[in-house]
Chains A and B, each alone.
Chain A
């Protein structure tokens, strides 16, 4: 938090060095939080706030959302009103393709785990990760994936951790 004379800015003067306001992720993040807080507040209201002496199911959520919302709004306004300046974008170094692949693969494993069994699901996952993300050669990928899955299977059996079995008992 930046501060000039004692006691001035409570809301952090976030980085002012973005090139364009429309592409400013900080803005979107704060906006998202404002919307989220509002949605929660509405949902909490519908659940019933009760009275102060007898809080209902929505009480806590409403209270937290009513604090979070204005705080996020404060950030949002601060950011929106600050003059934009060039500089480091929060997501400058992000490789979204990698993020998507990794998250998608994990999601896929969750989806497939019970259907095709642990062995096949993780084997496929490792293929993608070693191959597509880490960029290993295809035979290295296959070998590594097979080895790891095999080792994991053995370890899981040893610890007695039940893992879903797919066809072929994998």
Chain B
């Protein structure tokens, strides 16, 4: 009851004309930024930070927050349309989304992404309102050993994603782990595999890697055929998901929302983790898992719902405890500081207007985003009709500019080029890109969690088994491995001759 009253109060704040305006500006810019690959919400938010100096704290946060979850909606658009993930959390959306676009079903894919995102957002907000405090405390009990165990489970779950040769996918996962080690070692600050380049001391860079591996590689593959040949089939049927789509996707949305929300609270990698865990779960539970990677609508619904639920959930550690769980929340943290508010456990008590106003505006923002994105689908679908020989230079330009603008670094462009070639070769030779990218994201967390845990325990491995959450997670991992191996022995796998295009 309390919560409802507070929401009502928050809505009063959120629906004030100035705050409504900021909300709209935020989600609009966020969508744009999410659609453009490379340029992410972080860059835009920090650009707008000085502008927010002169706004009220509520208005400022509403706008900055809007950019963030708006970008989550937009990020899946490029992933579906041109296989360029706008965010790491959109990588998985593209696995099936892009295939749907090529089959002429970009509209339903985009529509499902938008609606799934909305559902995820609403569930996330609900969870935020009802469970913020206890969940934040629960998240605190995740220390290095728990993270290590969670990463182990995640890596096993990664293998569920593979469609073609699981052997080759495992190899790509290992390669991703190797690549994630490039940079300064966290424990000794020794440079690792940086080839003497200062620019590599912070690692290879996820955005250039992903854009090259998925986006550039895809263009190179498409350019094998005369550029007049159709890359995308003519759209058939409706622009929005059909009843059949909804039927297929309904559980994906529910499960995705729950998974996304729970994983999103955990600092570090929440949205990415939730997107592919939700996808993997759907695939595992599906009666026809071979459809995944070939254009299964659930393969779009699950990760999109998941990553939006996670995005909302990631506000919880910031607003309840003052701990920013990812880079975006760090910018919000800075934004709050600028306005004289130090985020911490007392935030809700001391600034209830701010908290409830922001929460209520998230609800408003999600509705706005739906209203913005659904009509845009028609526009995007029409865009795909542009002949590919005009389209691909535009895509490439957007990629280059996008990747450069993240860090203003030439090296990022070069990295993208290198991985564009790598991705092309991989596609031709039947190696999947998704396991590489996802292992790249998880690798650093895995390694630092392991070493931190061993530091904590003074070298003893018992720490992983004496702590309940860690022990349970490791047991789950063992069970999953057994399950996976058993299924593979029994099932007739799909063979993939090299050269045939594989999604996973």
A interface residues with partner B (beta carbon < 8 Å): 1-3, 6-7, 10-12, 14-15, 17, 25-26, 29, 33, 40, 43, 47, 51, 53-61, 64-65, 67-68, 71-72, 75, 88-95, 98-99, 102-103, 105-107, 109-111, 113-114, 118, 122, 125-126, 129-130, 133-136, 144, 148, 152, 156, 159-164
Determine which of A55, A64, A107, A144 lies in contact with B417 in the assembled complex, contact meaning CB atoms within 8 Å.
Answer: A107
**A134 engages B497 (CB within 8 Å):** no
Provide the residues of chain A in CB contact with B376, threshold 8 Å. Answer: none
Pick the contact of B223 from A55, A102, A130, A163 — CB < 8 Å?
A102
A129 touches B393 (CB 8 A): yes
CB distance from A132 to the nearest CB of B (A): 11
Residues of B within 8 A of A1 (CB): 165-167, 493, 495
Q: What distance in Å separates the Cβ of A82 from its nearest Cβ neighbour in chain B?
A: 13
**Residues of B with Cβ closer than 8 Å to A?**
29, 32-33, 39, 43-44, 47-48, 165-168, 170-171, 174-175, 177-178, 181, 185, 187-188, 190, 192-193, 216, 219-220, 223-225, 227, 389-390, 392-394, 396-397, 399-401, 404-405, 408, 410, 412-414, 416-417, 420-421, 424-425, 428-431, 443, 446-447, 450-451, 454, 459-461, 489-490, 492-493, 495, 497-499
Verify A159–B33 contact, CB threshold 8 A.
Answer: yes
Known: A47-B192, A72-B171. 19 other contacts (CB 8 A): A1-B167, A53-B461, A56-B188, A57-B192, A58-B192, A60-B450, A71-B167, A92-B499, A95-B224, A106-B400, A106-B416, A129-B392, A129-B393, A129-B396, A133-B227, A133-B389, A159-B44, A160-B44, A160-B47
Task: List 9 tightest A-B contacts by C-beta distance, closest first.
Answer: A110-B413, A53-B459, A129-B393, A134-B389, A57-B185, A68-B174, A64-B177, A15-B497, A90-B498
Chain B residue at minimum C-beta to C-beta distance from A40: B178
Chain A residues closer than 8 Å to B410, beta-carbon distance: 110-111, 113-114
Question: Could you give 8 example pairs across A and B, Cβ below 8 Å?
Answer: A1-B493, A12-B165, A29-B425, A54-B459, A133-B389, A135-B227, A148-B393, A148-B394
Q: A106-B413, A110-B404, A113-B404 are in contact. Are A65 and B178 (CB under 8 A)?
A: yes
Chain B residues with CB under 8 Å of A103's CB are 216, 220, 417, 420-421
> Which B residues are in CB contact (< 8 Å) with A67?
174
Inter-chain contact A29/B429, CB cutoff 8 Å: yes
Q: Complex: how many Å from CA A57 to CA B93? A: 34
How many angstroms from the CA of A1 to the CA of B450 in the assembled complex? 33
Task: List residues of chain B with CB within 8 A of the CB of A54.
Answer: 454, 459
- Bound together, the chains give a CA A75 to CA B490 distance in angstroms of 22
Q: Which residue of B lies closest to A144 (CB)?
A: B390
The complex places the Cα of A130 from the Cα of B392 at a distance, in Å, of 9
- Interchain CB contact under 8 A, B428 and A90: yes
Q: How far is the CA of A57 from the CA of B165 in the complex (A)?
A: 31
CB distance from A71 to the nearest CB of B (A): 5
Contact partners of A12 in chain B: CB under 8 A: 165, 167-168
CB of A60 within 8 A of CB of B425, answer: no
User: B178 touching A61 by the CB < 8 A rule?
Assistant: yes
Most buried by B among A99, A125, A164: A99
Q: Are B497 and A95 in contact (CB under 8 A)?
A: no
- Return the chain B residue nearest A93 by Cβ: B224
Cα–Cα distance between A14 and B171 once the two chains are bound (Å): 15
Instruction: Specify which of B192, B428, B451, B489 is in contact with A7 (CB 8 Å cutoff).
Output: B489
A127–B117 Cα distance when bound, in Å, is 39
- Given A60-B447, A107-B413, A135-B389, are A159 and B29 also a contact pair (CB < 8 Å)? yes
Contact B167 A152 (CB under 8 A): no
Docked complex Cα distance between A27 and B255 (Å): 42
A40-B193, A118-B401, A126-B397 given as contacts; is B175 within 8 A of A68 (CB)?
yes
Selected contact of B193 from candidates A59, A61, A164, CB within 8 Å: A61
> Are A122 and B401 neighbours in the complex by a CB distance under 8 Å?
yes
Which residue from B224, B400, B459 sits with its C-beta under 8 Å from A94? B224
Chain B residues, Cβ within 8 Å of A156: 401
Residues of A contacting B397 in the complex (Cβ-Cβ under 8 angstroms): 122, 125-126, 148, 152
Q: Which residues of B contact A102 (CB under 8 A)?
A: 216, 219-220, 223, 396, 420
Which of chain A's residues have a CB closer than 8 A to the CB of B413?
Answer: 106-107, 109-110, 113
- Complex-state Cα separation, A90 to B170, whole angstroms: 21
Q: A53-B459, A106-B416, A160-B47 are in contact. Are A6 and B489 (CB under 8 A)?
A: yes
CB-based contact B39/A161 at 8 Å: yes
Residue on A nearest B413 in the bound complex, by CB: A110
Chain B residues with Cβ below 8 Å from A25 are: 428-429
Which residues of A are found within 8 Å of B454, using beta-carbon distances? 53-55
Known contacts A55-B450, A90-B498, A106-B400, A160 near B417 by CB under 8 Å: no
Q: Would you give the shortest CB distance from A103 to chain B, in whole angstroms? A: 5
B38 closest partner in A (C-beta): A161
Closest CB of chain A to B274's CB: distance in Å? 24
Report how far A152 CA is from B188 CA in the complex, Å.
44
A55 interface neighbour in B219, B430, B451, Cβ under 8 Å: B451
B450 closest partner in A (C-beta)? A55
* Contact (A71, B393) CB under 8 Å given A53-B454, A110-B414, A110-B417: no
State the CA gap A121–B396 with chains docked (Å). 13
- Is A106 a contact partner of B396 (Cβ separation < 8 A)? yes
Q: Which residue of A is nearest B190, CB measured?
A: A57
Complex Cα spacing A67 to B176, Å: 13
Contact of B400 among A60, A98, A110 (CB under 8 A): A110
B498–A99 touching, CB < 8 Å: no
- Complex contacts, A134 vs chain B, CB 8 Å: 227, 389-390, 392-393
Chain A residues with Cβ below 8 Å from B424 are 99
- Bound together, the chains give a CA A57 to CA B396 distance in angstroms of 37
Which residue of chain A is the closest to B36 with respect to CB atoms? A159
The answer to whether B174 and A71 touch across the interface, beta carbons within 8 angstroms, is yes
Q: When chains A and B are docked, how far (Å) is the Cα of A107 from the Cα of B411? A: 10
B429–A53 touching, CB < 8 Å: no
Nearest CB of chain B from residue A72's CB, rounded to whole Å: 7
A132 vs B166: C-alpha distance in the bound complex, in angstroms?
39
In angstroms, Cα B224 to Cα A102, docked, is 12
